[in-house]
A = this chain, B = another copy of it.
Amino acid sequence: MTYALAIHVEDGLVFCSDSRTSAGTDHINVYSKMHTFVCPGKRFFCLLSSGNLATTQAVLQRLRQDTAQPGRLSLWTVPTLVAAADYIGMISADIQRNQSSRDAASTVFEATFILGGQIQGEVPGIYLVYPQGNYIHESAEHPFLQVGEIKYGKPILDRVVHSALPLEKAGRCALVSMNSTIRSNLMVGAPIELLFYRNGSLEPGEYLNLADDDPFYRSVADSWSQGLAVAMDALPVFPWE
């Protein structure tokens, strides 16, 4: 299982992902699900991956190979962000079909991606690329996208995230959403990766890789628990109290 999300606010983009992979409950590993493609000053992409690990690794390898071949369709040559989403969707669906053609069982080879970034001269944005290869983008009314185990961490995003949120505040909101998910589902786990992108910078911004016992991460989790307790105490009392 995975939980990953991206938020698009006026100042830029926030990317956040867990690092737990599992094949059943007795084969747990740590793999980064956050992958960046940076051509400094020209284009910046961040790809968050979820689903079948063989598929996501094959997609990533293919994306890297393509960027190494000048003139080929790649993240260095796609004209727009939506063209990048389309290109990734095509590769992902292609790899899933190839894997299925070798399969004697009914294995699920599906993978889902969040792609975000900016190309010089274009506006930044985020896309969710489905296993079928199609995709959606965020909207001003719904400025975040999630993949994987999305439900535990969605209420806080629904209540707090809007386009005008300062970038760091959106980052804190992503951390809290991730922390709530990790507390409720063993299949989502640290380290947590958190990456900021500032509009127009065309390079990655601040990056954090937070272990479960990281002092800053613990202070955020503890502060949030205390804040919820205060909010709970401030709720209106029942008529008979």
**Footprint of B on A, CB under 8 Å?**
151-156, 158-160, 168-169, 171-173, 176, 180-181, 183-184, 206, 208, 216, 219-220, 223-232, 234-241
**19 sample A-B contacts, Cβ–Cβ < 8 Å, listed by A number:** A152-B155, A155-B155, A155-B156, A155-B181, A155-B183, A158-B183, A159-B225, A159-B228, A168-B237, A168-B238, A169-B232, A172-B232, A176-B232, A206-B240, A220-B236, A223-B236, A227-B230, A227-B235, A230-B231
Count of identical protomers in the assembly: 2
Residues of B within 8 A of A180 (CB): 155, 159
- Besides A155-B180, A159-B225, 15 other CB < 8 A contacts? A155-B155, A159-B180, A168-B241, A172-B232, A172-B238, A173-B232, A206-B240, A216-B239, A223-B234, A223-B235, A224-B235, A227-B230, A227-B232, A227-B234, A230-B231
Cα-based distance from A168 to B160 in the complex (angstroms): 26
Residues of B within 8 A of A184 (CB): 151, 154-155, 158
Flag if B230 contacts A176 (CB, 8 Å). Answer: no
Residues of B within 8 A of A216 (CB): 236, 238-239
